[in-house]
Amino acid sequence: MRRALIAACLALALAAPAAAQDVPAPSRQRPLENTDEGGLWGMSDRAEAQARASGQIERDPALNEYVRGVACRVAARYCGDVRVYVMNRPFFNASMAPNGYMEVWSGLLLRADDEAQLAFVLGHETTHYAEQHSIEMMRTVRGRATAAMILSVGASAAGAGYAGDLIYLGTLASVFGYSREKETEADMAGFDHTAAAGYDVGAGAAIWTSLIAETRASDNPDVRRRETRGSIFATHPVSTERVQALQARATQRGAGGETFRERYRAAIRPHLDPWLRAELRRRDFGQTMQILDRLAAHGEDLGVVEYYRGEVNRIRRGNGDRDRAKTHYLAAIAQPDAPAAAWRELGEMAARDGNNAEAAQLFATYLERAPNAEDRALVEARVAQISGGAQ
């Protein structure tokens, strides 16, 4: 009985991401400030301070603990070095700086199908950290950092603080950017870390394949002609050769590992609505529809997915888009997880069609489902307006 209990505890420990109380001490000592490596840590410290103060940081403790647990599971001996910041930014990106500060963007979390795919990307980034690739690169691109600091300060002085952030982040990424050989090395080591942690060995090839498909789905012909990027700051593309190399590695190792898809979806589900709203602001509707199709692949969260399919069509305003938007909104409100805004959009459509009684009912349902809606006063005014001539 005791032996069975111990076995069960071990299995549970392997299945769950590392918890905060299990985090070991950092593996590295801070370098001296008067060294080039110390300077790079200083840059990383400033970027980390910006991330910590950013309005885009996700402060949900459960989400942060979950992502950090996945990072620790593939980081192994470097777990104690990792400090994760989840950011609501609608682009595929994760990075780890030399001081252990790691950013994981919502664009990556939306695009990963399961925990294994997230683990592969974080394992890839951890490899850059473990092998100190950024320090090697920093010694060749030191001038860029100085230029970026000057541009960033200039942008802030001109009142364009966000542009300054992008310049600073972009140049940090270029400093932390890597050669094609380093990217391949990180892919292979990331694969090994992912497989050793018990994850699906096909995860790396799968997420790079999905990114290539998303590039081809873009509305922008220039984007479709470009090679896929593994990060908005990446200097080297995600090529079919990298996918094939990962597939060959998986074949050599043999099938196996877990995707942990269900618990991954449970972790990101509370954030789908705001992340998809941010994704829409990119206004690349072809890519957004590709992401929505992947989110719907297992028949989950269909209220949210159908609502955002409706939003894509409403905002795009192409031929037939209005009818398609209405179809998706109606599909959304048939689901238990439909956002309240689906009733509001249907109400507005009904009002524009002159169906004022129907519109008033739909607006009332919206306000019932969203009693603290920021636009309550506007919606109530709209109801008062159409009620004067209700049919």
Determine the pLDDT at residue 20: 47
Residue 361's region, left for phi above 0, alpha for psi from -120 to 50, else beta, is alpha
Alpha carbons 284 and 296: distance in angstroms, whole number: 19
Q: Report in angstroms the alpha-carbon separations of 382 from 51, 86, 322, 348, 374.
A: 40, 38, 20, 9, 14
The encoded tokens of residue 384 equal 């008062």
Alpha carbons 105 and 91: distance in angstroms, whole number: 7
> Beta partners for 57?
87
CB 214 within 8 A of CB 291: yes
Whose tokens are 């990446």? That residue is: 234
Among the residues of the chain, which ranges form H helices?
2-15, 36-53, 61-75, 106-111, 115-130, 133-138, 142-157, 161-175, 180-196, 203-216, 221-225, 240-253, 261-268, 272-280, 285-295, 302-316, 321-333, 341-352, 356-369, 376-387
With a cut of 70, which residues of the chain have pLDDT below it?
Answer: 1-23, 138-179, 230-236, 389-391
Determine the pLDDT at residue 6: 39
DSSP state of 104: E
Whose tokens are 């030191």? That residue is: 142
Other residues' Cβ atoms within 10 Å of the Cβ of residue 24 = 13
The encoded tokens of residue 57 equal 């940081």
Entry field: residues in the chain: 391
Alpha carbons 327 and 335: distance in angstroms, whole number: 13
Whose tokens are 């689901």? That residue is: 335
Determine the pLDDT at residue 223: 86
The encoded tokens of residue 165 equal 């952030």
Alpha carbons 267 and 141: distance in angstroms, whole number: 38
Measured in degrees and rounded to the nearest 5, phi and psi for residue 297 equal -60, -30
pTM to 2 decimal places: 0.83
Give SS3 for 103. Answer: strand
Determine the pLDDT at residue 201: 96
Other residues' Cβ atoms within 10 Å of the Cβ of residue 354 = 11
DSSP state of 199: B
Closest CA to 110 of 276, 248, 345: 276
Determine the pLDDT at residue 2: 44
Determine the pLDDT at residue 162: 45
Determine the pLDDT at residue 10: 39
Show Cβ contacts of residue 374 under 8 Å, excluding neighbours closer than 6 positions: none
The encoded tokens of residue 264 equal 């991954």
Closest CA to 207 of 259, 252, 147, 253: 259
CB 97 within 8 A of CB 144: no
